[in-house]
Structure formats: C-alpha cells, structure tokens
Amino acid sequence: MLTKIFGAASALALLAGLTGAAQAEPVKFEFWHGLSGDLGDRVQEACTKFNASQKDYEISCVSQGGYETNLQNTIAAYRAKKQPAITQVYDAGTLDLMLSKAFVPAKQLMADNGYKIDWDNYFPGIGQYYATAKGDLESFPFNSSTAVLYYNGDAFKKAGITEAPKTWEQVSADAKKLKDAGYECPMAINFDPWFSLDQFSSIHNQPVATKANGYQGLDAEVVFNKTQVVDEIKFWKKQVDDKLFVVKTKQLGMDAFPSFTSQTCQMAMSSIADHGTAGKTLPQGVEWHVTMLPAFEGTQRQKTLVGGASLWVMKDRPAAEYKGAAAFLNFLAQPDMVEWWSTVTGYIPVTKTGFEAMKASGFYDKPQFKGREIAIESLTLTPPSENTRGIRLGNYTQIRKEFSTALEAIFMQNADIQKSLDEAADRSNTLLRRFEKTYAGQTLN
C-alpha cells in the first residue's frame, strides 16, 4: 500500500512538474502594423522591450508595409479566422473597423483583464477621434501626430524675416521676400489632403461633410466644394502661378518634406512625427523651426486634427492572448514608455500625464526636441466641436484620393478649380452612398 501511495505521489509530482513547465511557456500573440523603415524598427524595439520586461507573454510584431495594406490584410485575415490579436489602423480607417464589429472595445478589454485606466487622461483632441459618439474609446491612440509648418530659420534671416508666419497672407509675403533673396522654392506644397482638406477645414471651423463630419450618421455628404476650402485652393494656385509656392511630389522627383530637409525649399507642411527626421537629415548647424499651420486673416482659429493611427484588439482570439494584449497596451501607456516613444519617433504623447512627465523631465527644453510641444498646443487649442472633432466617413481613403486627383488636375493641368472640386465631391458622395448601402441598418454608437 505504501508503495502504491508513493508511486501515486511520484506520478503527481511528475505531472505537476510537467504542468509547471507548460505554464512557463509564454503566451504568444501577434501585432500587425503599417509602419516601415525607421519607424517600423522603433515598433519592433517597443515589442522587444515588452518581451524583456516580463516572462508571461511574447508578442510578435509584423509590419505589413503600409497603413492601407495593413487594413486590407487585417480584414482578409479576420474573414479567414487568422487575424492578429492587435492591429494598427490609421485615422482614415477608423469607421471601417468600428462598423465591422470585429474588435474588442478598449474599455472592455482593460476592465476584463483587471486594469484600471483613467480614460479622461487622453487628450480630448486625440481620444475622441477613436471614440464612440458617447465618448467611449474603441481603440488605443498610439502613434499620434498633427500637422505643422516647418521653416528654415537661416533662410528667413537672410530674407529679413524676423518671425514665424501665422497667416497664409504672411506666408505669401514671406515667400516673396525669400524669392527676392534668391531662393527658387520659398514654399513647397503637394496634393496630400491631410493638409489641404482635413487640417485646413478644422483650423477654419469648416465642415468636410454634413452630419458633423459623419459622426451623426452614414448618410453624410461631403461639402468641401462649398466651403472655404475653395478659397484656399484658389489662393494656393495663385501662389504657384506667381512662383512663390512650388509643387513638390514624389512623381515629380522630390516630395514636399524632403525638399525642405534638402534645403531646396524653405517652408513645407508636414507631420510633427517628421521632427526627428528633420533633425537627423538637415546638416548640423542649420537653424530650423516648426510653428502651427497658418490660417487666413480674420479666422477665429480652431484646433488641428490628430493623425497617425490607433491600436485595435481583434475579436475571436484565445482568452490568454487578450491578457497579453492588455498587458502590452498597459506597458505602452506607462510614462517612461510614452517618453521613449516620443523621443525616438517624433510622435506626440497621447495622455496628459505623459506630456506633463515629459515637460517635467526637461524634454522640450533640449535643442533637438524643441518645438515638438507645438503639436500639443495645436491639438488642444480649442475644445473639439462638430467641425474639429474628426472625420468619420466611410471609404475615406478613396475620398482623399478623389480630392487629391482634383488638386493634381488644378495645379498640373490648369483645370477649373470649382468644376474639379465639384466633380471630386460628386465622386466622393457616390463612394459614401456605396458605403451606406454596405452597412445598411447599422447606426453609429
């Protein structure tokens, strides 16, 4: 009898040992993202840091090469039941994910896994872009940015310009001074609607679409052909005709921001996320700065819109993966990681405590980071409103392409401005009606 008991005890001990070994294996899960190059490397570094910080989970971070590609691949993977636990979706794809119902809401995920999050800690101008109409965050703001104006301080001094331009009229006057001082490209522009449509409309309190830019219903229609955007494009076209603004695109050999960092052009609009790139690319000793995007004179200026992407947790994954996903997202939200991420990328902190911690540490006082706080100032300048909260339209990637196509015709083929914008609006509304039909019967929360 003792032998039997001893033998049973040994078997139990062996089983316990095997179970312990199995439990020692970390839970593995995937995170798909759309960043590549240096930014993609920084995402991988964040994942490596998480894996090294604990032994329970192992995240595998996979770049899909671009935002749009990642969104398409995520949708296809979900249909094939091979979706990752976490995916990164850019601002224009937010509504697609919301209506898909293929995700676990951010609040639910963290509550289910025992994390207490102060959701009001997110800057309203960032958090509300990814929230329901009621204000509940559906995804986690991650690589957030906004648009700013970069300018060459050395060139400004040579041209006798003593301060950063605040209005488009000042930009035009400064461009004239730069031209007179011998600079062939005072201001670079391209056809990116993020600047000319999204940000311009928000700053000038203009709607991009009806229904509070789509937040109040899928039956929204674009109206950019009937707003101050028309005046903006007319103004830009005149500057190009006067050779004060120069069109710079990849198709023409050099995009707008590279034309600035190469000192080919002395002003350019770009994301604050490019601040680090400017510091690495411009020769040491060159004085350069950033300032908020210009507004037309007489404008009661409003906040800019958040850009970048957020992290969505996909449905129908094993419960253990959700524990890992929650742990990873909580890890990213810690103040030291917030500061590290902003330092190595140029993206802005998404929480008030993260921003305050960075200010307290003297981050923004360091020469290589000075100016990045302008993005927070721009995003928080005014409370979010119907015209400045964000843009929640279906097929918005395609709508942006329609607007960009109109700009290309206007600037490169001298097409009629109003006619081109009217046609782009008509095509865009066709896209919206197609999207509305696809999701017939669904309402926005």
For residue range 209-239, list pLDDT tens digits in order. Answer: 999 999 999 999 999 999 999 999 999 999 9
Contacts of 171 (CB under 8 A, 6+ apart): 149, 165, 187, 267, 294
Residue 194 and residue 282 in one domain: yes
Any idea which of 5-14, 69-78, 172-181, 268-277 has the lowest mean pLDDT? 5-14
Q: How confident is the model at residue 339 (pLDDT cuts 50, 70, 90)?
A: confident
> What is the residue type of 241?
D
State the pLDDT at residue 343: 85
Question: How do residues 96-113 score in pLDDT, each as one tens digit?
Answer: 888 888 999 999 999 999
State the pLDDT at residue 261: 97
pLDDT > 70: percent of the chain:
94
State the pLDDT at residue 250: 92
Residue 169 and residue 255 in one domain: yes
Residue 48 and residue 176 in one domain: no
Q: Could you tell me if residue 320 is inside a domain?
A: yes
Residue 344 and residue 425 in one domain: no
For tokens 């990752």, what's the residue?
A: 84
State the pLDDT at residue 8: 47
State the pLDDT at residue 2: 35
Q: Could you tell me if residue 157 is inside a domain?
A: yes
Residue 296 and residue 409 in one domain: yes
State the pLDDT at residue 445: 65
Contacts of 120 (CB under 8 A, 6+ apart): none
Whether the pLDDT of residue 375 is over 60: the answer is: yes
Residue 127 and residue 263 in one domain: no
What's the burial of 441, exposed, middle or buried (CB within 10 Å: 0-12/13-18/19+)? Answer: exposed
Q: Could you tell me if residue 14 is inside a domain?
A: no
Q: Could you tell me if residue 62 is inside a domain?
A: yes
Number of neighbouring beta carbons within 10 Å of residue 251:
12
Residue 69 and residue 217 in one domain: no
Task: For residues 168 and 176, give the distance between their C-alpha atoms in angstroms, rounded to a whole number.
Answer: 12
Q: How confident is the model at residue 15 (pLDDT cuts 50, 70, 90)?
A: low
Task: For residues 198 and 307, give the distance between their C-alpha atoms in angstroms, rounded to a whole number.
Answer: 10
Total domains, the chain: 2
Q: Could you tell me if residue 8 is inside a domain?
A: no
State the pLDDT at residue 23: 57
Question: How do residues 349-363 score in pLDDT, each as one tens digit?
Answer: 988 888 898 889 899
Q: Could you tell me if residue 244 is inside a domain?
A: yes
State the pLDDT at residue 6: 38
Q: Could you tell me if residue 377 is inside a domain?
A: no
Whether the pLDDT of residue 326 is over 50: the answer is: yes
Question: How do residues 172-192 score in pLDDT, each as one tens digit?
Answer: 999 999 999 999 999 999 999
State the pLDDT at residue 335: 85
Contacts of 256 (CB under 8 A, 6+ apart): 188, 189, 190, 192, 248, 249, 265, 268, 269, 270
Residue 211 and residue 325 in one domain: no
Which tokens sit at 380? 């928080």
Whether the pLDDT of residue 429 is over 90: the answer is: yes
Task: For residues 34 and 67, give the distance between their C-alpha atoms in angstroms, rounded to a whole number.
Answer: 4
State the pLDDT at residue 131: 85
The mean pLDDT value of the chain amounts to 92
Instruction: Give strand pairing partners of 149.
Output: 269, 291
Task: For residues 233 and 306, give the distance between their C-alpha atoms in angstroms, rounded to a whole number.
Answer: 22
CATH code at position 79: 3.40.190.10
pTM, to two decimals: 0.89
State the pLDDT at residue 127: 86
Any idea which of 49-53, 189-193, 331-335 has the lowest mean pLDDT? 331-335
State the pLDDT at residue 428: 98
> Beta 185-189 vs 265-271: how paired, if at all?
parallel
Whether the pLDDT of residue 413 is over 70: the answer is: yes
Q: Could you tell me if residue 3 is inside a domain?
A: no
State the pLDDT at residue 440: 87
Residue 106 and residue 120 in one domain: yes
Whether the pLDDT of residue 17 is over 90: the answer is: no
Residue 327 and residue 411 in one domain: no
Residue 278 and residue 168 in one domain: yes
Give the structural domain span for 272. 147-304+394-438
Residue 89 and residue 172 in one domain: no
State the pLDDT at residue 18: 52
b/e sequence 365-388, b meaning 16+ C-beta within 10 Å: eeeebebbbbbbebbbebebeebb
Whether the pLDDT of residue 443 is over 90: the answer is: no
State the pLDDT at residue 4: 39
Any idea which of 285-294, 360-369, 417-426 has the lowest mean pLDDT? 360-369
Question: Domain boundary residue among 321, 346, 365?
Answer: 365
